[in-house]
C-alpha cells in the first residue's frame, strides 16, 4: 500500500509512530496527482509549494508532541467553491477564472487549525449546478472506476480524487445530493451534515437554504473525524449552530439506543421508505440495497416499512426553490463586483477592433454581455427559471407553493423518526452513467438526485457508503438521520462498514 492510499486514521498513526513524515506523505499524494490526474481531471488547482510548507509546519508540531488533531499533517483537497485564502477559487466557472480568494472559508480555517495540509482545489459542476461534473467550464472529471463514466456531481472532483487515492480526504458541498451521489458513483464515503452543523461562511452560495459543506472520505471513521473538525458556530453565519446542539429527545448514538448488547445493532429500528423502492430504481441496484438491509437485520436491527408520502413532489419542489435562490445569489456576478467583465475582456477588445462592435450604453448591457459570455448553459437555465418563478404573478403559484410542499416533506421525516432511528435508502437510482449520456436531457440528469434531494429540503443529515457493485461499478447505501443526530447514522454506518470489511476479507 502506497502512502497515498492510507486513511486519515492510518496516516495519523503512521505520523505519530514516525514511520513517515507529513512532507513524505504530501509528496506521495502530489506524485500520484501528477501521474494520474491528466486522465481523471479531478483537480483545477494544485498548490504544491504551499502544501509542502504546511506539511513541514505539521512535522514541527508532531515533533513537539502534545495533543494534536488526527488531521495534523494529513493532505486534503477542497472543492473549488469553498474559499482558500490566496488560492484561485473558480467554482468551475469562466466568470471567476482568475478570482483569488481573499479569506478562508470557516471549514477551511478549522482544517488549518487542525494542522491539515491543503494540496489543491477540485473540479465541480459550474457553481455546483449539476449531477455529473460535466458542467465544469474546465472540462469534465472522469470516474476513476471507469474513465468513460461520470464521477457524479457536483462534488465529482472531490469524490474522484479520494477514489483514485489522489488525496487522503476532501471537502465537498451538498445542495441536493452533491456529496452523496458522487460518493455513491465513485465508491467512497460521503456525509451531508444537518443544515447548520457546518458553517457556510466562505462557501460560494448556490441555494442558501440548502447548501451544506461536508466530507468525502475513504471510511466512515474518517468522515466522523472531518465532521468533528469542521462543525460548529460561526458568528458570521446566522444559520450555523453550536457543535453540541441537541434537539428534542433525540437518543444520540448507538450506545443510547442499543439495549441488546449481544448484537451490534440490537434495538436499532431502521425505516424502509416504500416511495424509494418504486419505478425508476435499477433492479440490480435495488438488489444490492435489499442485501444491505438484510445484513443490517442480521446485525440486530429491526427493519420496518414506513412512508414518506410527499416524496413524489420533492424533485419538482426542489427545482422551483433552488433556481429561485440561484437567481438571487448569482446576481452578484455582473461584470463589476466580481470576476470577469465582457466589456474589458480580450474578446471584447478584439471585437471592438474587428467587425463585431460591442455596444455598452448602460449597466444592463454590461450585465447581459458578461453573463451571456461567461456563464454556462446550465447556470443560465437555472437563473432564467428562478427569475421566472419569483416574478410578479408567479411567486404565489410556484415559489410559495413549493415552500409549503417543503414543509410537508420535513413533516414526513419528523413523523418517520417518531417510529424509527434511521432511514435506509439507495443513494442513487443507478450506477455511474456514461459521459455525455444525459448532458442534453436536463430532466434525466435531475432524476439522478431523486433520493438525495428530500434530505436537503428537510435539512436532516445523511451518509452514503459503498454496499457492493453492479457490473464493476459501485452502489451507494444512504443512511438518513434526525436533525443533529449524526452520531447515530455514523454509528450504524460504521457497524455495516465493518461487517462488509470482514466479509470481503
State the catalytic residues. 79, 154, 178
Phi then psi dihedrals of residue 473, to 5 deg: -110, 140
Q: Are 176 and 318 in contact (CB under 8 A)?
A: yes
User: Is residue 357 exposed (0-12), middle (13-18) or buried (19+ Cβ within 10 Å)?
Assistant: exposed
- Start-end of H helices in 125-262: 156-163, 180-186, 220-230, 254-257
Closest alpha carbon to 325 in 439, 448, 428, 200: 200
* Rg, Å, the chain Cα set: 22
DSSP state string for 208-223: TTT--EEEEESSHHHH
Measured torsion, CA atoms of residues 455, 461, 463, 464, in degrees rounded to the nearest 10: 10
Contacts of residue 220, defined as CB under 8 A and 6 or more positions apart, other chains included, come to 189, 463, 465, 490, 493, 494, 497
Taking residue 48's Cβ as centre, other Cβ atoms within 10 Å add up to: 14
List strand residue ranges (DSSP E) for 100-198, in order. 117-122, 169-173, 189-192
Query: Which long-range CB contacts under 8 A does 68-72 form with residues at least 24 apart?
Result: 68/115, 69/114, 69/115, 69/229, 70/8, 70/9, 70/12, 70/225, 71/8, 71/12, 71/111, 71/114, 71/115, 71/116, 71/225, 71/226, 71/229, 72/12, 72/15, 72/22, 72/114, 72/115, 72/116
Please tell me what DSSP assigns to residue 146: B
Element (H, E) at 85: none
Q: Which helix (H) or strand (E) holds 465?
A: strand 462-470
Interatomic CA distance for residues 141 and 125, integer angstroms: 9
Residue 34 CA to its chain's centroid (Å): 24
CA dist., res. 209 & res. 418, Å (int)? 25
Asked whether the bond before 421 is cis by omega within 30 degrees of 0, the reply is no
* Start-end of H helices in 391-470: 401-416, 442-446, 453-458
Q: How far is it, in rounded angstroms, from Cα 220 to Cα 501?
A: 12
What is the rounded CA–CA span in Å between residue 272 and residue 202? 36
> How many Å apart are CA 183 and CA 162, to the nearest integer?
9
Amino acid at each position: 500500500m502506497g502512502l497515498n492510499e492510507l486513511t486519515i486514521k492510518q496516516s495519523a498513526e503512521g505520523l505519530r509512530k514516525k514511520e513517515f513524515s507529513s512532507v513524505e506523505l504530501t509528496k506521495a499524494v502530489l506524485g500520484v496527482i501528477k501521474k494520474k490526474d491528466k486522465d481523471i481531471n479531478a483537480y483545477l488547482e494544485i498548490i504544491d509549494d504551499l502544501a509542502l510548507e504546511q506539511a513541514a509546519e505539521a512535522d514541527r508540531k508532531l515533533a513537539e508532541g502534545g495533543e494534536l488533531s488526527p488531521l495534523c499533517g494529513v493532505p486534503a483537497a477542497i472543492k473549488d467553491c469553498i474559499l482558500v485564502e490566496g488560492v484561485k477559487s473558480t467554482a468551475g466557472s469562466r466568470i471567476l477564472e482568475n478570482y483569488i480568494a481573499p479569506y478562508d472559508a470557516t471549514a477551511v480555517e478549522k482544517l488549518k487549525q487542525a494542522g491539515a495540509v491543503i494540496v489543491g482545489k477540485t473540479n465541480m459542476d459550474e457553481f455546483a449546478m449539476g449531477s455529473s461534473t460535466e458542467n465544469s467550464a474546465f472540462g469534465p472529471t472522469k470516474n476513476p472506476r471507469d474513465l468513460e463514466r461520470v464521477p457524479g456531481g457536483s462534488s465529482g472532483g472531490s469524490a474522484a480524487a479520494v477514489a483514485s487515492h489522489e488525496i487522503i480526504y476532501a471537502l465537498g458541498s451538498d445542495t441536493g445530493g452533491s456529496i452523496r451521489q458522487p460518493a455513491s458513483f465513485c465508491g467512497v464515503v460521503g456525509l451531508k451534515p444537518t443544515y447548520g452543523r457546518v458553517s457556510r461562511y466562505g462557501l460560494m452560495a448556490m441555494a442558501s437554504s440548502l447548501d451544506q459543506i461536508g466530507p468525502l472520505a475513504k471510511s466512515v471513521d474518517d468522515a466522523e473525524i472531518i465532521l468533528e473538525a469542521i462543525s460548529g458556530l460561526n458568528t458570521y453565519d446566522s444559520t450555523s449552530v453550536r457543535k453540541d446542539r441537541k434537539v428534542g429527545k433525540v437518543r444520540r448514538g448507538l450506545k443510547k439506543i442499543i439495549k441488546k448488547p449481544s448484537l451490534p445493532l440490537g434495538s436499532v429500528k431502521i425505516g424502509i421508505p416504500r416511495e424509494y423502492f418504486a419505478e425508476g430504481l435499477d433492479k440490480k441496484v435495488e438488489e444490492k440495497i435489499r442485501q444491505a438491509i438484510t445484513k443490517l437485520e442480521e446485525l440486530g436491527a429491526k427493519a420496518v416499512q414506513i412512508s414518506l408520502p410527499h416524496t413524489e413532489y420533492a424533485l419538482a419542489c426542489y427545482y422551483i426553490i433552488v433556481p429561485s435562490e440561484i437567481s438571487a445569489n448569482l446576481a452578484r456576478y455582473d461584470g463589476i463586483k466580481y470576476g470577469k467583465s465582457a466589456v474589458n475582456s480580450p474578446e471584447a477588445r478584439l471585437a471592438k477592433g474587428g467587425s463585431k462592435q460591442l455596444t455598452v450604453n448602460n449597466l444592463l448591457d454590461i450585465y447581459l454581455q458578461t453573463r451571456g459570455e461567461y456563464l454556462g448553459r446550465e447556470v443560465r437555465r437555472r437563473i432564467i427559471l428562478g427569475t421566472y418563478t419569483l416574478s410578479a404573478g408567479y411567486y404565489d403559484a410556484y415559489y410559495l407553493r413549493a415552500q409549503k410542499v417543503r414543509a410537508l416533506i420535513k413533516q414526513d421525516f419528523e413523523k418517520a423518526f417518531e417510529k424509527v432511528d434511521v432511514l435506509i435508502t439507495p443513494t442513487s437510482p443507478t450506477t455511474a452513467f456514461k459521459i455525455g449520456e444525459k448532458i442534453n436531457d436536463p430532466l434525466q440528469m435531475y432524476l439522478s438526485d431523486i433520493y438525495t434531494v428530500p434530505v436537503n429540503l428537510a435539512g436532516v443529515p445523511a451518509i452514503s457508503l459503498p454496499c457492493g457493485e453492479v457490473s464493476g461499478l459501485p452502489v451507494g447505501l444512504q443512511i438518513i438521520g434526525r436533525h443533529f443526530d449524526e452520531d447515530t447514522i455514523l454509528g450504524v454506518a460504521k457497524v455495516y462498514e465493518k461487517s462488509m470489511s470482514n466479509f470481503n476479507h
